[in-house]
Amino acid sequence: MTTTFTYYGHACFSLEHNGKTWLFDPFISGNPKASSIDIDALNPDYILLSHGHADHVLDAVRIAKNSGAKVVASFEVHEWLHKQGVENTHPMNIGGEWDFGDGKVKCVVAHHSSVLPDGTYAGNPMGFILWLGDKSFYYAGDTSLTMDMQLIPRWASIHTAILPIGNNFTMGIEDAAIAATFVGAKSVIGVHFDTFGYIQVNHAHANDVFVDENVDLWLPQIGDSKSLI
């Protein structure tokens, strides 16, 4: 059964599988480049938040309340969501795994920082492995290249890795290409690029770097959808 990726800009995307939609890191209303996206038309079943920074959670409360989606996040972000009136949440932490019935999630290490927009401590940032049917996907969240990524092939055979490539706040292109080899992914979707001046990337150079690692790289445009399988 296929899984469809849809890009909403920055590090916001969804994976749709078997009639269920998993939305990651919603940041749309604060992204002028994503003005074509109708936030209130989004109707996910699950929302996964990698960490508390505004460019990952800005629209989470609004979409959660609109859709009733279950929000999966660190324990600290889960507590903050309850204070915002979001009831349907599932707290997790790094190393933990949970089978939601529609898919299984494992929280993995991300080296970054994490605080919510109002200054609330947000716990540690995370990445996710998501198993959908017989395929698995890795979303790194905001992170540097880490040695911990070498553990991921022990847990899952990653079909597609969704990696930040914008540099400055996260991995850049060269480190993301190494990350792809660490996690064993032959196919990468780049996110967290071109939104702000600090994270502009040269697309042709990015392609060259990934070709050298023999990894397929796709840099989606906002609104793009693609069947991954």
| Identity of the residue, 142 or 175, whose beta carbon is nearer to Ni ion in the bound complex | 142
| Identity of the residue, 142 or 194, whose beta carbon is nearer to Mn ion in the bound complex | 142
| Identity of the residue, 45 or 55, whose beta carbon is nearer to Mn ion in the bound complex | 55
| Identity of the residue, 76 or 142, whose beta carbon is nearer to Ni ion in the bound complex | 142
**124-132, 138-146, 178-186, 207-215 -> range binding Mn ion (CB under 5 A):** 138-146
| Identity of the residue, 10 or 135, whose beta carbon is nearer to Ni ion in the bound complex | 10
Minimum Å gap between C-beta 85 and Mn ion is 24
Residue 59 in the binding site for Mn ion (CB under 5 A): no
Task: Give which of Ni ion, Mn ion, none residue 59 binds (C-beta under 5 to 8 Å, depending on kind).
Answer: none
Q: Which residues bind Ni ion (CB under 5 A)?
A: 53, 142
The set of residues, in sequence order, having a beta carbon less than 8 Å from that of 102 and lying 6+ positions away, is 17, 18, 20, 45, 46, 132
Q: How many residues bind Mn ion (CB under 5 A)?
A: 2
Minimum Å gap between C-beta 204 and Ni ion is 26
Residue 55 in the binding site for Mn ion (CB under 5 A): yes
Q: Which of 59, 142, 175, 194 binds Mn ion (CB under 5 A)?
A: 142
Task: Give which of Mn ion, Ni ion, none residue 135 binds (C-beta under 5 to 8 Å, depending on kind).
Answer: none
* Residue 176 near residue 201, CB atoms below 8 Å: no
Residue 76 in the binding site for Mn ion (CB under 5 A): no
State how far the Cα of 33 lies from the Cα of 14, in Å rounded to an integer.
17
Q: Which chain residues interact with Mn ion by CB under 5 A?
A: 55, 142
